[in-house]
Amino acid sequence: MDKLYDVIIIGSGPAGLTAAIYTTRANLKTLIIAGTVWGGQLMLTSTVENYPGFPDGIEGPDLMMAMRKQAERHGAEVVELNFQEGDFSKKPFEIRVDNQTFQGKSVIIATGADTKWLGVAGEKELIGKGISSCATCDAAFFRGKNVIVAGGGDTAMEDAIFLTKFATSVTVVHRRDSLRASHVMQERARANQKIQFIFDTVVLQINGTDKVTGVKLKNLKTNEEKEMDIDGVFVAIGHVPNTMVFKGVELDEHGYIAVYDRTRTNVPGVFVAGDVHDKHYQQAVTAAGFGCMAALDLEKWLAESDSVAEQKT
């Protein structure tokens, strides 16, 4: 089996799949290392209302399935395996996945970002026992219960609103004195009578043995600590970029992949797209845009490096 690809795309969120749509349409042999859990963060969301083209919104998973279908229709190959490591010192580049090695003339890193957990005592032990990062998956288990949502951005608002379908009360705990969420999401959350807010406050500890029974909160302004009985904790404080496995690829001071000249990394032929390098926007539509940019830059780079190779021979 010929395992040399023009481009290997690592990641299968909006950035990776959009890149694949462009590379395949440019007639480049394209492989997507999708991961065993493919589709990225949108697989954990409910309705996406800000992706253009869907006036009534679209379910996150439906959007991802459509993008994947579109990439595959143009000839992208998808493997649902987890990326292990990349050797970017050799040409072609070697990407190891389980027991297989794939070779690519170029690579797009589009591995996105994962849930940032609170990192407090009790959290690790109680994930799945009352602590969750996926409100759409787990809200139904909190029918008639009281929960908190940690965070103050759009995801936190979305989670809080979704949770009110089931929970008796939802308390948003946010470390700052005002929310980061977009105006429309804030309004919607504030208008919901089941949602309360606690500002300037962080979760210090999560209590419970078999399941979550409470949290310890700390007010950052007064330093006051208090216990609160609670049945569930939904974590929506942001994301961390998935960068740890790319040896030789430079990161910036915040731990994201360092970008040179639009979509290039420090390694020629290795490009980057989406939340793994973008700490500013982190939207589905910007990730898709970055995917397109990386694909176009890569196409040009391949054409140039091929013509250099031809001149040498």
Partner 1 sequence: MSDLVFTDQDFEAEVLQSRTVVVVDFWAPWCAPCRIVSPVIEELAKEYKGKVKVGKLNVDDNPNTAAKFGIMSIPSILIFKNGAPVKTLVGARGREEYKKEIEEILGS
**Of 61 and 214, which CB lies nearer to partner 1 in the complex structure?**
61
Among 4, 66, 121, 140, binds partner 1 (CB under 8 A): 140
**Of 36 and 223, which CB lies nearer to partner 1 in the complex structure?**
36
Reply yes or no on whether 137 is catalytic.
yes
Separation between Cα atoms, residue 246 and residue 256, nearest integer Å = 11
Stretch that binds partner 1, among 126-134, 150-158, 197-205, 286-294 (CB under 8 A): 126-134
Among 58, 120, 127, 198, binds partner 1 (CB under 8 A): 127
- Cα of first residue to Cα of last residue in the chain, in angstroms, is 26
- Our finding on whether 134 is near partner 1 (CB under 8 A) is yes
Q: Among residue numbers 208 through 247, which ones bind partner 1 (CB under 8 A)?
A: 210-211, 232
- Our finding on whether 104 is near partner 1 (CB under 8 A) is no
What would the DSSP string read from start to end of 87-150?
E-SSSSEEEEETTEEEEEEEEEE---EEEPP---BTHHHHBTTTEES-HHHHGGGGTT-EEEEE
Q: How many CB atoms lie within 10 A of CB 262?
A: 12
Tokens of 52: 């253009």
Reply yes or no on whether 292 is catalytic.
no
Phi, psi of 274 (to 5 degrees): 90, -160
Q: Hey, is 3 helix, strand or coil?
A: coil
- Our finding on whether 124 is near partner 1 (CB under 8 A) is no
For residue 31, the minimal CB distance to partner 1 (Å) is 18
Among 82, 84, 266, 305, binds partner 1 (CB under 8 A): 82
- Our finding on whether 96 is near partner 1 (CB under 8 A) is no
Q: How many residues form the binding site for partner 1 (CB under 8 A)? A: 26
Name the active-site residue from 62, 137, 177, 252. 137
Residue tagged 């103050």 (tokens): 152
Reply yes or no on whether 134 is catalytic.
yes
Instruction: Report strand pairing: 239-241 vs 113-115.
Output: antiparallel
Residue tagged 């170029």 (tokens): 106
- Our finding on whether 184 is near partner 1 (CB under 8 A) is no
Among 25, 47, 75, 81, binds partner 1 (CB under 8 A): 81
Active site residues: 134, 137-138
